[in-house]
Amino acid sequence: MLQAHEYLKPGRVLIFGESEIRYLESLTEAARTRSLNLALTTDFPCVLITGGFAPPAALLAEAERTGCPVLQTAMATPTAIAKLSSILEDHLAERSILHGGLLDVLGLGILIVGESGTGKSECALDLIVRGHRLVADDTVEVRRRSETVLIGTCPELTRHHMELRGLGVINVKELFGIASTRTSKRIELVVQLERWDPSRQYERIGLDDECHEILGLKVPLIRMPVAPGRNIAILVEVAARNQLLRLRGHHPARLLADRLDQQLRQAARLEDDDEEMETGGVG
């Protein structure tokens, strides 16, 4: 431990497994006290004893002196490290609160956003009726895990509830059953509902990929114009199916564009051949 002191980093959990406990037991009382005194001068949030081992008396005394909590678990060291890392990663993750609705549509996490009154909750309700699952309505808590994952959930107070204009607050779990909800979901697609603007040019083919940035990560974005007669829920469901195809490497718009380019190149070659034949014939 004396030799390893330079490798101890403040802010980390100090873990004692079987090897560390056996090492402490092999030291003389004076050496053990010196080692623990040196180790616990580092600013650790706590000490964790794994494998069900009893904390050495010298460790408890030194921890009491420095005010460092000592925790104990029966888990083996690798399992304890894995579980502790997962818990800390989740609780210390960067977080944000977004206005919108989050649903699990065909296994794809879709965040529906847009101005107030564009029909986000009505769209979510229609999707629930079609068999998809609600995660959060109106308020979505988002946390970033690792470098590429965004997890969305619902505040505990409003979990399973939706507010619908003219109807009030409903409990989706009670109305449609437990299978109609889930507590959290990874956000993999953002659908932005917008009021239809006749003067605006909307995407017609789907070649231009847009992104919506959340906590520094870019998520695929689809802008969905809302107008009378458009069934937004069905369009969102189709968008989910299409996104799943894209994730598998199948991009229908690009495939169609490639086929069109190929046909145009073939037509151009045929025209060049005809011109050469005509030129050759005249000459």
* Catalytic machinery residues: 99, 120, 138, 204
Instruction: Go through 2-17 and write b for each residue having 16 or more CB atoms within 10 A of its CB, e for each that does not.
Output: eeeeeebeeeeebbbb
119/121 Cα distance (integer angstroms): 6
Sequence-ordered strand ranges (E) for 5-50: 14-16, 47-49
Contact 163, 121 (CB under 8 A): yes
Contact 209, 203 (CB under 8 A): no
Number of C-beta neighbours around residue 201 at 10 A: 6
CA 209 to chain centre: 20
